[in-house]
Amino acid sequence: MAAVASSSRASPPDRSQQQHRPTNSRILGDITAEPLLVAASTGSDKPLQALHAQNLAQSSLHTQEVQAHFLNQAPKFVELHNTLSTSLSQLESLSSFLSTFSADLGAVSSHISTLQARSQELERRLVARRKLELPLNDLVQSISISPETLKHILDEEPNKDWQGYLAEVEKVLDASSSAAAASLLSKKENTASTQGNIVSDGEALEEVRKIAEGAKMVAAAKLRGSLLAPLQPIKRSLTANLTLLQSLLLRSHRGLYGFLARQMPRVAIDVQREYVGLARLYYETGFRRYERALKYAREKARRRESRAAVLIAEVMPPGATGAGPDAEGDTWLLDTLRLEHAKMADGPPVCLAYQAEDPTMRHPIESLFRSLSLVMLDNASAEYCFIARFFEDLESMPVKPSKTLEDLSDDGPEPEESASAAGDAEEASETAKTSIGGGGGTMREEAHGDVTHLSKREQQAMQGRAAGADELWRQVMEPVLGHWTTFVKSLLAPSPPSMLSLLTVLQHLEGLLSESTARGVSRVLQPTLMNFKMEAYPVLQRQWDEHIASIKKFADTGTPQSGGVLTSANVGTETIAAGFGSFVRAAANTVSNPFGSQDPRVTDQHVVTVSYRYGRLYSSVVSLTMSEEFPDAASSNPALFSSLLRLRAEVERLIEKQVERISKRKASGTADDASGPNAAGLLAMSSVTAVKRALENGPAALSHPRLQTEMSHWSETERSRRLG
């Protein structure tokens, strides 16, 4: 025991380990394991009883320590128990509160459901009210006429403010019509609760319509006189400018006429008839005066141009006159300046009325045709544009501003503001020149309309609705078309102009067709223009055939066609044959009776003249048909160049035949010694050179592909002659 005690004292328990032992459930395990640890630490040599005693002592000490620990922690456990009890009590209170809140929330939810149902009912009622409000609002607004509007219509004359007043009256008339009123009342019937209001609304519509109808009748009576008032100067004097009066109508009266056309068609038709009568008288008088002046100039031109019937192989008659001899001295050749009359833009000035009546001034046939045609085109275009814009009420772009009636002066409008031919044909002619010259020709594209051009949008708007405008235009312009047709057909009979003059006229006619299309008036002008074209082209083709036949006959007989006595003034060989030696000098001589016993030298030289005429004719045709205004003229009219090829073949045949005759004369010994030993070759070379010189000096540029081809042909012919 002492050993056990000593050993127990010798190994006192570690206090630091005891302090750091855990106080959880592992303590009990440590108590049971302690004896084993003690036994293990003491070793196997100690007696078991001592070890047991030691272990009991240690276990007792440990138990005391555990108990002391739990006793020290007891206040905390009590405090924790109290806290839990308090929490349970609070949870029970919260549960009671939540039960009360849940009951209140259920009551609120029931109230919200009631409010939602009521809100949906109010929404349905609001939708129904809105459906009723819209037709009623439209009805009220559409059938309301302000007292000021009625006062102005009843007490005042039409002015610029009337368009707004008439729009208000027209709105009421449209809204109170049978179909519109039935539609509005049916909408209200679907939403109204009683029928009494519908009956009263129907009576209100009828009453309002009666008021609007009365205002319409008063307005129509006043508008008729107001629309015709600007045209009254025409009745007093035909020197008034119709185009300017039309501009005034377009600017301030188009809306007024539109009201009449929609609401009072009979009054609108009456206004149309009055206008047609005045405009027809205006144009008929003006064009009759202008045509009479041009007829005088036409007769002068016919008496002066006696060469009109002279063919290409004929000798010019004595005293023949025309544009005067050209650079080669041949009066048969047409002056190149006269070819300019085929142009639409940048051409010669038109013939004015006082110029046509002046006996000292000369105007060729093509100038007269161009003058009358441009005047007709401008006036016809201006009239059609006015009728389409005013009577058809096109929604077009603004036209060029014009002066008002009060701003008109005694001097009349400026040239660019008028294309009128009535009264003073001189003003009309100058206007035609200005309009065409400043318009850019037939190829210009119109983005905006003006007094003689419908814009692209206006032309599209006229598609399918132009029958009325076309008929009104024909009623107005029928005398103009009649005067134009009579005059231009008189150019073809009894004797047509020369071939180049007629070709110039026809090329200008092509320009008229293109310009009428660009202006949007082709549907009314093209029939008249095409009618003249169909009559003139056979005449032109017949002239081609006659010229070709004349050269063929010259080649077969060896004698030129009889166009009169051959003189040195019209043979023109001094210049043509210059440098050709003795043959040329002999060709300049004149015989007393060239068609009885023809001098061979003169006949040979006339072959050179015909060759030069052919070259000049070819260059003139190219100049007419291949200009910038008519880039596709050759492809659209291949008959011209086909006829030129036929003519060239006959000229070549003529040269060959004459060379054969000279060779026969040399062989028979009847040739003149002055003609030289190589007269046949000289004639062939002179003829070819004359053609080439004519192509070089002609009105068309030598750089043109067709002239280059023709020049190459004759250069190759010349080369073959030299080698042969």
Determine the pLDDT at residue 627.
Answer: 62
Q: Tokens in use for 505?
A: 């006229």
Question: Tell me, what's the pLDDT at 194?
Answer: 41
Residue range 433-437: average pLDDT?
42
Most confident among 171-175, 337-341, 430-434 (mean pLDDT):
337-341
Question: Which of 370, 373, 363, 361 is closest to 305 using CA atoms?
Answer: 363
Q: Give pLDDT, residue 45.
A: 52
Q: What is the largest CA-CA distance in the chain?
A: 197
Instruction: Work out the pLDDT band at 163, boundaries 50, 70, 90.
Output: confident
User: CB burial class (10 A; 0-12, 13-18, 19+) of residue 447?
Assistant: exposed
Residue 314: helix, strand or coil by DSSP? strand
Q: What is the mean pLDDT of residues 111-129?
A: 90
Q: What is the pLDDT of residues 315-358, one digit of tens each?
A: 765 544 444 344 455 667 778 888 888 888 888 888 888 888 88
- Residues 123-145 have a mean pLDDT of 79
Report the C-alpha gap between 529 and 520 in whole angstroms.
15
pLDDT in tens, 214-223: 888 998 899 8
The residues, ordered by sequence, that sit 6+ positions from 321 with a Cβ below 8 Å of its Cβ are 304, 305, 306, 307, 331
Which of 189-198, 280-289, 601-610 is most confident?
280-289
Contact residues for 231 (Cβ-Cβ < 8 A; gap 6+): 245, 249, 274, 275, 278
Residue 229's alpha-carbon distances to 245, 275, 281, 408, in angstroms, are 10, 11, 17, 15
554-572: buried (b, 16+ CB within 10 Å) or exposed (e) per residue? bbeebebbebbbbeeebbb
Q: Is 598 left (phi over 0), alpha (psi -120 to 50) or beta?
A: beta
Give CA–CA dist 220/264, Å, rounded. 7
Distance of CA 85 to the CA centre of its chain: 99
Tokens representing residue 59 in the block: 């276990």
| Choice between 256 and 584, residue whose per-residue pLDDT is larger | 256
In terms of pLDDT, which residue wins out, 108 or 406? Answer: 108
550/459 Cα distance (integer angstroms): 50
Radius of gyration of the chain, Cα coordinates, nearest whole angstrom? 58
Compute the average pLDDT of residues 403-407. 38
Q: How many CA atoms lie within 13 A of 38 on its CB side?
A: 29
Give the model's confidence band at 184: pLDDT under 50 very low, under 70 low, under 90 confident, else very high: low
pTM: 0.68
pLDDT over threshold 70, residue 8: no
- Return phi, psi of residue 87, to 5°: -65, -40
Q: Mapping DSSP to helix (H, G, I), strand (E, B) and coil, where does residue 463 land?
A: coil
The confidence score (pLDDT) of residue 670 equals 64
Segment 505-522, tens digit of pLDDT: 999 999 999 999 999 999
| Stretch 29-34: mean pLDDT | 47
The structure tokens listed for 534 are 């169909």
